[in-house]
Structure 1
Amino acid sequence: MTARLIIQLAALLGGSGVAIGAFGAHGLRKMLEASGRFDTFETAVRYQFYHTLALLAVGILLALRPEMKSLSTTAWLWLGGVIIFSGSLYTLCFTGITKLGAVAPLGGLLLIAGWISLLLAARQI
């Protein structure tokens, strides 16, 4: 994955995070509170944003240090983690399909693996 692609993906995740967060907080707050899922929704948005900023930093680092190709692995892990973790929580909140809660830990494992990947990539600095 190139630095440009990583930064573009961070921009997409950041923009979609703002849109989803605003839609949930303003348009669906009553529904989410009534279902008891507003906290779950906030967790999904928060983790999306944490990893969006981290992904942006990795993209910038890769642009500055293109020889650190292992940062691509970090980016892929975080991207997959956000999609699976936050995506499954969003889907749970909006559909009420509770079985999707069981998928979230897989996304969490990818997020953790991304941080471990970053730790290993930092050996090249």
Structure 2
Amino acid sequence: MQRPSLLIVFLAALSGAAGVALAAASAHISNAANLETASRFLMIHAAAALGLGALLAAKLPLARWLGGASFALIAGVALFSGDLAARSFTGDRLFPYAAPIGGSLTIGSWLALAVWALAALRAR
């Protein structure tokens, strides 16, 4: 595996671990809906990022596009989930609009992956 794909796998593993930790924390905190949402997002997108790391390792067409979308997906989920977790633990946001920015980045990343798939299909 090349460095970018290994880095994506590393970040996916951290995301999965954070998701499990937040799920455990949510069991011990009252009114933990934000933690449950953050946990779910982290774990689902960790699995997706693992798949993206494998795709990137396969050296498919337009790999830079795929890599950029993969890193953007991880960053978006980290911002979104991090903001929800910060609100649950401290009552404060990471920074103004962190969750909407993270959510928008995540949505945009999924759309970028769809565009990449079509472009890679046409390149074959």
TM-score (norm 2): 0.83
Q: Give the superposition deviation at 1:14.
A: 0.8
Secondary structure of 2:48's aligned partner: helix
Aligned: 1:76 with 2:71: yes
Alignment counterpart, residue 63 of structure 1, candidates 50, 57, 67: 57
Alignment counterpart, residue 124 of structure 1, candidates 115, 120, 123: 120
Higher helix share: 1
Large movers: runs of 4+ above 3 Å: 98-102
Mind listing any 5+ residue stretches in structure 1 that lack a counterpart? none
Any conservation in 2 of the 1:89–1:101 contact (CA below 8 Å)?
A: no
Mind listing any 5+ residue stretches in structure 2 that lack a counterpart? none
Measured at CA, do residues 105 and 3 of structure 1 come closer, stay the same or move farther in structure 2, by a change above 3 Å? same
Q: Which residue of 1 aligns with 2:36?
A: 42
Q: Give the superposition deviation at 1:4.
A: 1.1
Q: Give the superposition deviation at 1:111.
A: 0.3
TM-score (norm 1): 0.82
Q: Distance in 2 between matches of 1:103 and 1:13?
A: 17
Identity of aligned residues (%): 36
Any conservation in 1 of the 2:84–2:99 contact (CA below 8 Å)?
A: yes
Q: May I ask how many residue pairs the two structures share in their alignment?
A: 117
RMSD (Å), alpha carbons: 2.0
Out of 75-84 and 99-108, give the one that drifted further: 99-108
Q: Which residue of 2 aligns with 1:90?
A: 85
Deviation track 1:56-99 (CA, whole Å, cap 9, x = no partner) reads 11111111135422111111211111121000000000011268
Secondary structure of 1:65's aligned partner: coil
